[in-house]
Amino acid sequence: METAPGTGTMPPDVLLAIAMTAVADGVVVFDAAERIALVNPRVAALFRFDPDRVMVGMDMASFLSIVGTAVGWSAARIATVVDNHRRWQARQDSVDIDHHFDDGTILHINFAPLPGHCAVITYRDVTVERRLTDVVAAQAAQAERFRKEIATVVTETDAAAAEGQAMGRAGEAELELIVRDLGDVVVAAQQSTAAMQDAAQTSAMMAGMIDTVVDQVGHTSSAASGAMAHAHETVALSQGLSDRAGSIGSILDIIRAVARQTGLVALNAAIEAARSGEAGRGFAVVAAEVKTLATQTSDAVAQIEPQISAMQIATRDVVAAESRDRARHRRYPGPRGHRDRHGT
């Protein structure tokens, strides 16, 4: 077609060729017979092959074979791609796919049906767009992970605070137990002191009774004529001394039990003090002192017990000796006055 004189316009086919060259996307138009009706040089540039290899009138299978060979497809894959394009053209389907090159380039391919079973295929380089999309998605994912991590940290912080409060309440409860145990220790110590005082008083009474018995025995030895008069009193005193010695043994048993109880309370107080950490350090000192008191009490009982046993043995010997003397006097009462055979 020639240019109209004086109009300055160009033929439509020339304008179309210029426009197709200026288009940034690769464009291929196929007619109903699957032959190229229009193609721009951008297609060859995108797929990196010589533009002279593709021309108008080439069939779709040959064009796709050139493209497939350029991108490294196998013959089987090229055949599959040809079948897909024929099916899309027959069904008049509109298809969008991305093709990824080994060097990282990404081409977006759009197959659009045209009236009369024709079709147009456009190829567009979307490498930058897809990478930007990936970067945005990665940043969004990172932001979401950060949000979740912050939420996790906040949750763990709240849990730690709650645990700290619970531990504080548990510590207060343990301190209350320690104070209660220390109260038991004080009561046990008071009981031990009272028992020791009773033992001391009983020992003093036994000493006095022993002195009385000694005096009575000495008096009996120096005045044989009054021995029988004082024998009953001596036996009574000796028996009382034996009873007192027995009560001393019972008191010693009480003192031993109190010492054991005090030791156990001190051990419990020491354990609770250790579990309370810094808050229980003062109680640990008190528990150690109470344990020392229990040990000293047990030692004192161990020292007193042999002496009490000796006193008990001595009192039993005195009672037994007095009993034997009384029995002997009953069998051999001695002279009670002289009578003649007349009874005068």
Residues 6 or more apart whose Cβ sits within 8 Å of residue 249: 308, 312
Neighbours of 202 (CB within 10 A): 17
What pLDDT is recorded for position 63?
95
Q: What is the mean pLDDT of residues 191-210?
A: 65
Comparing 36-45, 177-186, 240-249, 271-280, which segment has the lowest mean pLDDT? 177-186
In the predicted structure, residue 31 carries a pLDDT above the cut 90: yes
What pLDDT is recorded for position 13?
65
Q: Measured between alpha carbons, how far is residue 77 from residues 81, 91, 278, 326 in Å?
A: 6, 21, 77, 136
In angstroms, the CA 344 to CA 339 distance is: 6
Residues of the chain with pLDDT > 90, as a percent, come to 21
Neighbours of 273 (CB within 10 A): 24
In the predicted structure, residue 312 carries a pLDDT above the cut 50: yes
Q: For the full predicted model, state whether its pTM sits above 0.75.
A: no
In the predicted structure, residue 124 carries a pLDDT above the cut 50: yes
What pLDDT is recorded for position 340?
40
Comparing 97-111, 156-170, 216-230, which segment has the lowest mean pLDDT? 216-230
pLDDT digits (tens, 9 = 90+) for 157-166: 778 878 877 7
Rg (CA), the chain: 61
pLDDT digits (tens, 9 = 90+) for 270-298: 787 777 777 666 767 777 777 787 787 77
Q: What is the 3-state secondary structure (H, E, C) of the chain?
A: CCCCCCCCCCCHHHHHHHHHHHCCCEEEEECCCCEEEEECCHHHHHHCCCHHHCCCCCEHHHHHHHHHHHHCCCHHHHHHHHHHHHHHHHHCCCEEEEEECCCCCEEEEEEEEECCCEEEEEEEECHHHHHHHHHHHHHHHHHHHHHHHHHHHHHHHHHHHHHHHHHHHHHHHHHHHHHHHHHHHHHHHHHHHHHHHHHHHHHHHHHHHHHHHHHHHHHHHHCHHHHHHHHHHHHHHHHHHHHHHHHHHHHHHHHHHHHHHHHHHHHHHHHHHHHCHHHHHHHHHHHHHHHHHHHHHHHHHHHHHHHHHHHHHHHHHHHHHHHHHHHHHHHCCCCCCCCCCCCC
Q: Measured between alpha carbons, how far is residue 17 from residues 23, 258, 262 in Å?
A: 10, 116, 111
Q: What is the mean pLDDT of residues 187-201?
A: 66
Residues 6 or more apart whose Cβ sits within 8 Å of residue 283: 175, 178, 179, 182, 269, 272, 273, 276
In the predicted structure, residue 4 carries a pLDDT above the cut 50: no
In the predicted structure, residue 338 carries a pLDDT above the cut 90: no
